[in-house]
Chains A and B, each alone.
Chain A
Amino acid sequence: MSTLLKARIADVFEEPGCDKNQGKSEKERKKGCTAQLAPGAAAGGCAFDGAKIALQPIADVAHLVHGPIACEGNSWDNRHSASSGPQIYRTGFTTDINELDVIYGGEKRLFKSIREILEKYDPPAVFVYQTCVTALIGDDIEAVCQRASEKFGKPIIPVNAPGFAGIKNLGNKLGAEALLDYVIGTVEPEFTTPYDINIIGEYNLVGELWQVKPLLDALGIRILCCMAGDGRYKEIASAHRAKVNMMVCSKSMINIATKMEKRWGIPYFEGSFYGIGDMSDSLRQIARLLVQQGAPDELLGRTERLIAVEEARAYQRIEQYKQRLSGKRVLLITGGVKSWSVVAALQEAGLEIVGTSVKKSTKEDKQKIKEIMGDDAHMIDNMTPREMYNMLRDARADIMLSGGRSQFVALKARMPWLDINQERYHPYAGYEGMVELVSQIDRALSNPVWQQVRMPAPWGDDGETLGAVATSAPQATDQQATRFLSEVAAHALGLVPEEVPA
């Protein structure tokens, strides 16, 4: 790994805005966030994956992966980050290096690739991602990008986050560093207003940003740029002129917020769009900070009036589900999304949380969960699939909410499951999104298919009913099974049961 990259990783680990980091001793902090992974017992993405996730939602640039086919060929086109216009970010570009490149170096191929992309697709910028193999053979993507920028007169941005550098979260941060080093502050916006904000760490999955944007629009607040959901290169390049930064949820890109505060004096706050209370708090915070930065006072009053109207409307719409959902138990296995904001939202609908994972939560997050759920909150640090399966099979939960990777744990236990991670199809942000989430949970729970799939086979060899069968359901014995079959046969033959030959 280059000294440059090493220094940058050390810098990212020092992150003053990360509470979790600041809670560690100095020695521990030096070791950074890369928990040593256990070979043969590890799962999840790598640093390259993290960088790509963080930056790919920038919709109008070409994202070029410099490496062998695995890195892009196996991963492109698998996330639902929506764009309101350009589609080039969905095109997979890779140098697909071969054996000769590994031996002689892939820099020439990379340079040619950049030229081909500019000639054929003419994007405002190209992002070049480093990967393990090209880093290992020593390809200097920074130098190639600099040369290409000079030669072609377009920004070519190196993103130096090879997979072996660490875990996905580190990659998010390294991706953010690339924006800080090469993009933010390089372009002046055409005009500014006292109501300009940036949203950082929001990826517009299934268009969630658009559930929030109308609220901001109504208040006259302009999203100068969103990093990176539905983002545009020029907007991000001019982000340094915003009045306020909002960090959404996960701390994946907190280094952008802290460094923008240092460089351009832009205050930031951490908020969430998930949960009714959280959505309102975020609007308040934005308004408060904007006023503090010089926007007229009247913004605060307008914000409160909007919140009152929207909250009342949302609660009224959730009310219709409350009766059916009250007392239903939810097992929550979340990753990056702050668990407590979803917890609060679900309780608003009368659901009971039997457990929530806190794998990526900070100390404060855990404290908040305790406040909301009480001291007996069942917090799960790291649950194995078998434990999840057993929990569901024993029907200690009625539904599991998680990311796609653990979906089959629920489905194989014949229990309802709802995707709340990045591959999902339904948007859950803002007031709209919470109503949607509750309605999806209701839809999943009330689907008659669960009765169907838990029905034991009449001939009794599907003995494993997974404890999910209602106790009143008839348990098929051999005798019953035979009787059942003879009745079916009788109907089919048009006979009465007595006449069926044994």
Chain B
Amino acid sequence: MAHVVDIKKACAVNPLKMSQPLGASLAFLGLDACMPVMHGSQGCTSFGLVLLVRHFKEAIPLQTTAMNEVTSILGGYDNIEAALLNIRKRAAPHIIAICSTGLTETKGDDVEGYLVTIRKRHPELADTEIVYASTPDYVGGFEDGYRVAVTAIVRTLVKPLPRQTDQVTLLPGSHLSPADITELREIIEAFGLSVIVLPDVSGSLDGHIPPDWRGTTLGGTSLQDIRAAGASALTLAVGEQTREAALALQDIAGTPFEMFDRLTGLEVNDRFLQCLSQLSGRPVPAKYRRQRSQLLDAMLDGHFYTGGIKVAMAAEPDLLLAVGSLLHEMGAELRCCVSTTKSASHALLPAPTVILGDLEDLERGAADCDLIVTHSHGRQAAERLDKPLLRIGFPVFDRVGNAHRCLVGYRGTMALIFEVANLMIDQIKHHHADDWPLSPEALRAAAPVATPTPTGLAVASA
């Protein structure tokens, strides 16, 4: 139960946080044949695009309404209209997903109103779904933007349908990688259930070579599947940030939901499998019983290196909770925890305090720690402090394979334990024969007496 401290600094130094529109864009990238658009000036999109490309090492479709100083004052109606028509003509996406930015929110653009007018004036857009999320840069952070966007997708596109008893909807948080989502899908399907993942970056950002060039997202949740979510028997929500969308699904289609604040760790996965088993009426498959046993063994092997270590962590709330809780369960002490934005997750974190701050706060708190855990921007601090860095979250731009790194399920938990333990093993000092020299006094004392003459004489000759 962590106490949340909001640091009262005027200047953020080495930001941990990223903007809401960027988080919203990640959610939109998990929809198939979609074109995400940021309603703002070019830079808003360009910065986000560069980060997404460097993390996923993939081409990222992301557009901008290219606001300039005149349209910023007069309002962005024309830009949104032109953007929608341009995108439809060039890329013909099934969905155009728009999020606002600080610029257009400060001006006060009524995008929802614009969209109503545009719909009326342009019947040619009738075959294109348009989703809008309000995500000012100066409120919240990455995770908030993702939350708002997923909720907007649900509210705009899902309608109630007749119940399918063997179908579930999975709402993954923004901290889940494509590999995490694939792992969860496989687990759910192993119970004979069919699953709709919303949004599903495992289809679009999992690093595959498509047969042809497309301007939109390649894979992800199809429009048909998003709509079909209205028929699911249960929603599985992973991460506090998905609660709002789960509530929206309950609201719209009457779908009950199960919240999993994390799926990294032993006990939470037990609960997850139990839930699936009850829903499907099937026993837990042998494969996962075996994996559970392997995880237990991994925890035993790993705890020697994680027990008692002091950790400084900085991440978005849900990831902080997932990785922090596992480290705690493995005997580590969460000495310094930094988060980006307010979240109910913080209440569950097994640490005395959580700072809403930046990487400068992390660097200060990490001085007497054994391990730093944060995204790639933490590498400068880790270098300066000469401490190992476990890279987690977004962005991880100086490592390849981020899309295939799995941290959920028994298997993912096991992989994370090994990764941390191996980092700590690298820190074990190797001793050399001359590591423990005797003191000069001890050496003198131990030295053979040169001649068996009386002491006084020996001293005189020395």
Contacts and interface: CB of A to CB of B under 8 A. Distances in A.
Interface stretch (A129-137, A270-278, A348-356): A129-137
A177 interface: no
Interface in B142-165: none
A160 B106 CA distance: 19
A109 B10 contact: yes
Interface string B236-260: 0000000000000000000000000
B103 A132 contact: yes
Q: Nearest 4 pairs between A and B by C-beta?
A: A46-B43, A40-B83, A113-B11, A112-B10
B65 A39 contact: yes
Interface string A69-101: 111111111100000000100111111111101
Given A45-B46, A46-B43, 19 more contacts: A1-B69, A34-B68, A39-B65, A40-B37, A40-B84, A69-B15, A70-B44, A70-B137, A71-B47, A74-B51, A78-B397, A93-B12, A108-B10, A112-B11, A120-B13, A132-B67, A166-B68, A404-B53, A453-B209
Given A39-B80, A48-B43, A464-B211, A69 B18 contact: yes
9 contacts: A40-B64, A42-B66, A68-B19, A70-B47, A71-B137, A78-B50, A91-B13, A96-B17, A99-B139
B63 interface: yes
Interface string A150-192: 0000000000001111111000000000000000000000000
A415 to B, nearest CB: 12
B138 interface: yes
A74 B41 contact: no
Contact of A69 (B53, B106, B138, B211): B138
A405 B45 CA distance: 13
Contacts of A41: 63, 83, 86-87, 90
B136 interface: yes
Nearest to B62: A43
B185 to A, nearest CB: 22
A4 interface: no
A78 B51 contact: yes
Contacts of B72: 132, 136, 164
A408 B54 CA distance: 11
A117 interface: yes
A275 B59 CA distance: 30
B43 A94 contact: no
B265 interface: no
B14 A92 contact: yes
Interface in B28-50: 37, 40-50
A40 B85 contact: yes
Interface in B187-227: 209-213, 215
B19 A69 contact: yes
A412 interface: yes
Contacts of B103: 132-133, 136, 163-164
A174 to B, nearest CB: 13
A164 B68 contact: yes
B19 A70 contact: yes
A408 B80 contact: no
B79 interface: yes
A38 interface: yes
Nearest to A66: B11
B59 to A, nearest CB: 4
Contact-residue size bin, chain A (C-beta under 8 Å from the other chain): 35 or more
Contacts of A109: 10-11
Nearest to B83: A40
B380 interface: yes
Interface string A384-414: 0110011000000000000011001100111
A163 B19 contact: no
B67 A385 contact: no
Contacts of A37: 42, 66, 68
A75 B211 contact: no
Contact of A39 (B64, B102, B106, B377): B64
B45 A43 contact: yes
A102 interface: yes
Contact-residue size bin, chain B (C-beta under 8 Å from the other chain): 35 or more
B22 interface: yes
A94 B10 contact: no
Given A38-B82, A39-B82, A77-B377, A68 B136 contact: yes
B58 A70 contact: no
A178 to B, nearest CB: 17
A478 interface: no
Contact of A74 (B47, B211, B212): B47
Given A73-B19, A99-B138, A167-B42, A409 B213 contact: yes
B137 A133 contact: yes
B172 interface: no
Contacts of B19: 68-70, 73-74
A110 to B, nearest CB: 8
A49 B43 contact: yes
A67 interface: yes
B411 to A, nearest CB: 26
Nearest to A111: B10
A64 interface: yes
Interface string A227-242: 0000000000000000
Contacts of B54: 78, 423
Contact of B43 (A1, A38, A71, A466): A71
B42 A43 contact: yes
A116 interface: yes
Contacts of A102: 102, 106, 138
A93 B41 contact: no
A75 B11 contact: no
A448 interface: no
A374 interface: no
B203 to A, nearest CB: 16
Interface string A120-149: 100000000000110011000000000000
Given A48-B43, A98-B138, A165 B69 contact: yes
A116 B397 contact: no
B402 to A, nearest CB: 15
B9 interface: yes
Contacts of A45: 42-43, 46-47
Nearest to A171: B43
B324 interface: no
B42 A38 contact: no
Contact of B86 (A40, A99, A113, A414): A40
B59 A133 contact: no
Given A1-B69, A95-B10, A132-B40, A412 B47 contact: no
Given A70-B101, A78-B50, A92-B14, A43 B139 contact: no
A48 B44 CA distance: 10
